[in-house]
Chains A and B, each alone.
Chain A
C-alpha cells in the first residue's frame, strides 16, 4: 500500500501545488481574462451537474471512439497488407507520406462542407487524423517480425489466416499499440477542432460558444475540462496497454530490454 501511496504522491504533487497556487493568487481577481479559479470551477461544475456538459462530453467521446475505431480497423488491415507485400508498399508509399505530412485539421472544413454538420463528418475527420500513425506503425511492425518466427510458421505449415492472426499480428502488436497511443492524442485534437466548425454540441463547441459570448470563466473551464479528458484518456490507455501487452513488458523486464 505504501508504495502505491508514494507513487500517487510523486505523480500528484505538482498539479496540487500548481492549482493551489492558482487558486490562491487568483482569488479576488478582477481581470476580465483571468477570473478567479474558484469561479471557473463553480461555473463548470454547474454546467456539469445540471447543464449541457454531460451530453456534450458524451457526443465528443462518442465521435472520438467511433473515429478511432474506424482508424484502427483500416490502419491495421491496410498496414498488414502493405507490410506483407513490399511491392504494394513501394507503389503507395509516396501517397502515404504526402497524407501523413498534411496537417489533418486542415481537412476538417472540407469534410464539414462535403458531409454536413452532423456527427459523421467529425467521425471521418478524427479517423483520417488517427489512421496514419496506426497504419505506418503496423507496416513497420509487420516488416519487423522475427524471420525465425515466420520460418517456424512455414515449417509447421501454419495456414495464412492463422499465421496472420497468431504470429504476425501479435509480433507487430507492441508497435501497433504505440501507433494507437499517438493516434489517440491526435484524435483528441481533431475532435475539438471538428466541433469548432459547424457544430451545435460537443466540448469544442462549448469552448467556442463561451468565448463568443465573452464568458471567460466558462471558456477557461471548458479548456481545462478538455485537458482533463485528454489526460484521463491517455493515462487509461497506458494502463490498458500494460495489461494488453503484459507479456511484452514482462519479457522486457526479464531479459533486461527496453520496452
Chain B
C-alpha cells in the first residue's frame, strides 16, 4: 500500500455504476438484485435430452458477493452463461431489478475463465478495456480516461499500452476485470476467474476483487470449484450438486471483514464452512455411485 492508493480510490468514483433510470421498471432507482427462480436447463429434446440444471433458486443482493461451488461438470458454467444472458434457460426466470433477462443485460460485466481468448490480441490492454465503452456509446473523449482509471484500479496503470499477450496470465485477468469495471457493471459475473493462475497470483487477485467490491459497491457472482476460494470470498455460498444439478444448500458466510489471506483462513469458522460445503458436495455424489451398484 503506498500513498497513491488513496488518490486512486477517489478517482474510482467515476466508475461507480450510475443509478439507472429505466422507465419500464417500477423498481426504485439504484442498484438491482439479481434473482433466479426455479431455473432449469435441458440440452436437446426427446430421448437424447440431457437435463443439466433443475429448480435453481438464487438471489444476489446489491453489494453481495456470492460464490457458486460444485464439482466439475455440475453445470456451474451453464448457470453462469444463463445469468449472463448468453444462453436461454429451459424453465424458470432470471431477473435484474424485476426485469426479465433474455439477452446480455447492460448491468452485467462478464469475466471469463480463459482470459487469453476473451481479450482481443490486436488491441492494447487499455483499448480492450475501453472497447465496450465504445459499444455503449460513451463519447470518444471520455473513454480513455475511464479505461485508465479502471486499469489503475487493478494495479495496471503502467501496462496500459502493452498488448494482452505481452502480459502474464494474472495481469491479463486483471485487464479483463478492468474491462468489466470500466463498463460500470453493477454485477460482476466471473467463471472460474482465477483457475489458470498460480496460487500467489490467485490470492492477490482474490484480494483485489474484494477491494474493488468494497470500493464500488458492486455485486459479484463467482463460479468456482475451489471451496477455500469460495469461503474466503463469499458473503454467501450456493452449493450445486447432483445430476441434474440443483442447489443443495445456500450458506451465509460470516467471517471478519475485511478478509485477510492468513487470519481469515486460520479462523476456526473458516474450517467449519469448508468442511460443511465439502460434505454437501460429496454426499449426493456418493449416493449416485452406490445407486449404480447392484
Asked, given contacts A155-B108, A158-B132, A162-B135, whether A148 binds B118 with beta carbons under 8 Å apart, the answer is yes
Decide yes or no whether B51 CB sits under 8 A from chain A. no
- Say whether B131 contacts A247, CB under 8 Å: no
Decide yes or no whether B106 CB sits under 8 A from chain A. yes
Asked, given contacts A152-B112, A154-B104, A254-B165, whether A247 binds B135 with beta carbons under 8 Å apart, the answer is no
- Say whether B117 contacts A250, CB under 8 Å: no
Asked, given contacts A247-B163, A255-B165, whether A148 binds B104 with beta carbons under 8 Å apart, the answer is no
Measured CA separation A147–B116 after assembly (Å): 12
- Say whether B134 contacts A250, CB under 8 Å: no
Interface residues as binary, A143-176 with B (CB distance below 8 Å gives 1, 0 otherwise): 0001111011111111100100011001101000
- Say whether B136 contacts A157, CB under 8 Å: yes
Interface residues as binary, B46-68 with A (CB distance below 8 Å gives 1, 0 otherwise): 00000000000000000000000
Instruction: Name the distance in Å between B99's Cβ and chain A's nearest Cβ.
Output: 15
- Say whether A151 contacts B112, CB under 8 Å: yes
- Say whether A167 contacts B120, CB under 8 Å: yes
Decide yes or no whether B73 CB sits under 8 A from chain A. no
- Say whether B166 contacts A162, CB under 8 Å: no
Which residue of B has the minimal Cβ distance to A147?
Answer: B117
- Say whether B132 contacts A251, CB under 8 Å: no
- Say whether B134 contacts A154, CB under 8 Å: no
Decide yes or no whether B149 CB sits under 8 A from chain A. no
CB-CB contacts below 8 Å: A27-69 with B:
none
Q: Which A residues lie within 8 Å of B132 (CB)? A: 156-158
Measured CA separation A248–B112 after assembly (Å): 23
**Interface residue count for A (Cβ, 8 Å)?**
25
Q: Which B residues lie within 8 Å of A148 (CB)? A: 112, 114, 117-118
Q: Which B residues lie within 8 Å of A158 (CB)? A: 131-132, 135
- Say whether A156 contacts B112, CB under 8 Å: no
- Say whether A251 contacts B135, CB under 8 Å: no
CB-CB contacts below 8 Å: B63-100 with A:
84-86
- Say whether A157 contacts B131, CB under 8 Å: no
- Say whether B135 contacts A254, CB under 8 Å: no
Instruction: Name the distance in Å between A158's Cβ and chain B's nearest Cβ.
Output: 4
Q: Which B residues lie within 8 Å of A254 (CB)? A: 165-166
Option from A146, A151, A170, A171 in Cβ contact (under 8 Å) with B86: A151
Q: Which A residues lie within 8 Å of B28 (CB)? A: none
Instruction: Name the distance in Å between A115's Cβ and chain B's nearest Cβ.
Output: 40
Q: Which A residues lie within 8 Å of B118 (CB)? A: 148-149, 151-152
- Say whether A248 contacts B110, CB under 8 Å: no
Measured CA separation A243–B104 after assembly (Å): 36
Measured CA separation A157–B109 after assembly (Å): 10
Which residue of A has the minimal Cβ distance to B108?
Answer: A155
- Say whether B110 contacts A250, CB under 8 Å: no
Instruction: Name the distance in Å between A187's Cβ and chain B's nearest Cβ.
Output: 27
Counting chain A CB atoms within 10 Å of each CB, which of B86, B109, B134, B135 scores highest?
B135
- Say whether B117 contacts A156, CB under 8 Å: no
Decide yes or no whether B121 CB sits under 8 A from chain A. yes
Asked, given contacts A156-B132, A156-B183, A162-B134, whether A251 binds B165 with beta carbons under 8 Å apart, the answer is yes
Instruction: Name the distance in Å between A232's Cβ and chain B's nearest Cβ.
Output: 29
Asked, given contacts A146-B117, A152-B112, whether A247 binds B122 with beta carbons under 8 Å apart, the answer is yes
Given contacts A155-B108, A156-B183, 11 further A-B contacts (CB under 8 A): A148-B117, A148-B118, A151-B86, A152-B118, A152-B120, A154-B104, A155-B86, A156-B109, A166-B120, A170-B122, A173-B122
Interfacial residues, chain A to chain B (CB-CB below 8 A): 146-149, 151-159, 162, 166-167, 170-171, 173, 247-248, 250-251, 254-255
Interfacial residues, chain B to chain A (CB-CB below 8 A): 84-86, 104, 106, 108-110, 112, 114, 117-118, 120-123, 131-132, 134-136, 163, 165-166, 179, 183
A and B contact pairs by CB, cutoff 8 A, 18 listed? A148-B112, A149-B117, A149-B120, A151-B86, A151-B118, A152-B110, A152-B120, A155-B84, A155-B104, A156-B131, A156-B179, A157-B106, A162-B134, A166-B134, A247-B122, A248-B122, A254-B165, A255-B165
